[in-house]
Structure 1
């Protein structure tokens, strides 16, 4: 089934070239079914790249998905044009009276800041509070996961001794949980962050379960027991070359940066990296949309 996007969104043509089934809003209005409404709170600097990564995944499912992008009002992104934001994004004020079946909160390169020092933290808190009653299920990625763990459950983040950067293996703790359906017992996933969250603190919380973890980098998939919130501490949505772009950027700036772990073939940055996590990325999003959104959301919101 297709994903519904604004007619002129730049990512649309790229998705069509990749044979992702997309449908513009004009055609979608003629369909006599109700699509899932997904709100994407895009906090990443390069918003168009993140749009493409997420739309690939939302568009590879058997349900029609209607995507709304949201940007913060209290912080203006420096890496995307205002015209792009005006054309394809809404603000929280514009959607706060609406209901959504699912919400995705992306990462943001601010994890070394205290939450209260982030310019849009109060706005982020308002969005998270609103989601309790206005969203069926939310997926929080990287910084978004840390923010959700802190705001909803009081789990603090902490500074790592060195950047968690590369591809790491993760163990599924309970393959019978719907979110992990089809997962291998051991699967790889990318990480790129300077902070972490305590597995012990999460395990001690009565409302949280660790569904996948790494012996090297800690908790990876954390699920709230009411299935309202899914926290992903890494970046399964990343393309094969995303960590390379980050590495090359920091090298060009003269920063001290280690080669991403288990990423470049033979640990040689001149070799093109391979995507080893794509199948589990699609499984994660498909399972979330099916079991935690489609199967749970009301057909008509009250």
Structure 2
């Protein structure tokens, strides 16, 4: 089934050329199908590449998905045109009365700042809280995952002595997890971050489970057993060229940056790197969407609510009364 995006979104042209089934909103409204409603809060400075990467993996499966792009209002992006933002993004205040099957929050180039020093931190905390009652399942990426873990569970992040940068092998720790259905025992995953969360801090929260981990770069994928939240610290959605583009950008700006590890053939930046993670990216997001589809109520006015019951966590349903 196709993915539904705004008619003129730049990602649509790219994905149609790749053979991804993309449907414009004008056609989708005439279909008698209830698509999965997925909101994407895109915090990356270059919006279009991130839009394309996420729409690609969300549109690779058999489920029809309707994407809503969301932006913060307390910070105006400087690297994406105001015209693009006005045409394709909704400010959070315009969607906060809506409900969604899924929410994806991306990373952001603010890793080394304390969370509270990020300009839109207060607004983001409001979005985190809103999502608990208005979204069935949430998927957080890179800094977005660190921020969500900190907000929901108090898990800190730590600055690394050098950027974790490259494509690293990761071990599957729970092959029975629905998120990892079809995964190989060892998975190559692109990594690009200056900070980390540590296993010991995650293990202090009983409801958190580590699913993917690397000997070189640490924890990669974490799942909350109660809320079903997904925390992905790395980037299976990346294009083959993304790490190379980041390397050339930083090197061109004179920043201290090493070659991305295990990426360029023969560590030669002139050679095109192969995409060795694409299939697992499709699997991860496809498995997540399938789990959302299997559990989300058809009527989004009936969304799951996490409550404490007799000192333990229990999942119940709240009936929202609408006019």
- Structure 1 and Structure 2 fold alike (TM over 0.5): yes
* SS of match in other structure, 1:295: helix
**Conservation of the 8 A alpha-carbon contact between 2:160 and 2:195:** yes
Which position in structure 2 is the counterpart of 1:297?
296
Alignment of 1:128-277 (within 5 A): 128-277=128-277
Alignment of 1:86-101 (within 5 A): 86-101=86-101
**Conservation of the 8 A alpha-carbon contact between 2:58 and 2:285:** yes
Asked if residue 81 in structure 1 is aligned to residue 90 in structure 2, the reply is no
Deviations 1:139-178 (A, max 9, x none): 1000001001100011000011111000111011110110
Question: For 2:290 and 2:2, how far apart are their aligned partners in 1?
Answer: 14
Question: For 1:273 and 1:221, how far apart are their aligned partners in 2?
Answer: 24
**Conservation of the 8 A alpha-carbon contact between 2:47 and 2:80:** yes
Question: For 2:66 and 2:218, how far apart are their aligned partners in 1?
Answer: 34
Question: For 1:186 and 1:227, how far apart are their aligned partners in 2?
Answer: 27
Question: For 2:265 and 2:90, how far apart are their aligned partners in 1?
Answer: 41
Question: For 1:166 and 1:283, how far apart are their aligned partners in 2?
Answer: 21
**Conservation of the 8 A alpha-carbon contact between 2:101 and 2:300:** no
With normalisation by structure 2, the TM-score equals 0.92
Question: For 2:270 and 2:87, how far apart are their aligned partners in 1?
Answer: 38
Question: For 1:113 and 1:124, how far apart are their aligned partners in 2?
Answer: 15
Which position in structure 2 is the counterpart of 1:55?
55
Which position in structure 1 is the counterpart of 2:34?
34
**Conservation of the 8 A alpha-carbon contact between 2:22 and 2:59:** yes
**Conservation of the 8 A alpha-carbon contact between 2:12 and 2:22:** yes
Question: For 2:107 and 2:41, how far apart are their aligned partners in 1?
Answer: 9
Question: For 2:271 and 2:33, how far apart are their aligned partners in 1?
Answer: 47
CA shift at 1:227, angstroms?
4.5
Question: For 2:285 and 2:272, how far apart are their aligned partners in 1?
Answer: 26
CA shift at 1:204, angstroms?
2.1
Query: CA RMSD of the aligned region, Å?
Result: 0.8
Structure 1, unmatched stretches of 5+, are none
Structure 2, unmatched stretches of 5+, are 302-323
Deviations 1:77-116 (A, max 9, x none): 0111111111100011000010000010001111000000
CA shift at 1:228, angstroms?
2.8
User: How many residue pairs align between the two structures?
Assistant: 301
Which position in structure 1 is the counterpart of 2:102?
102
Question: For 1:198 and 1:80, how far apart are their aligned partners in 2?
Answer: 33
CA shift at 1:8, angstroms?
1.3
Question: For 2:72 and 2:150, how far apart are their aligned partners in 1?
Answer: 19
* SS of match in other structure, 1:289: helix
**Conservation of the 8 A alpha-carbon contact between 2:3 and 2:67:** yes
* SS of match in other structure, 2:162: strand
CA shift at 1:13, angstroms?
1.3
Question: For 1:93 and 1:58, how far apart are their aligned partners in 2?
Answer: 25
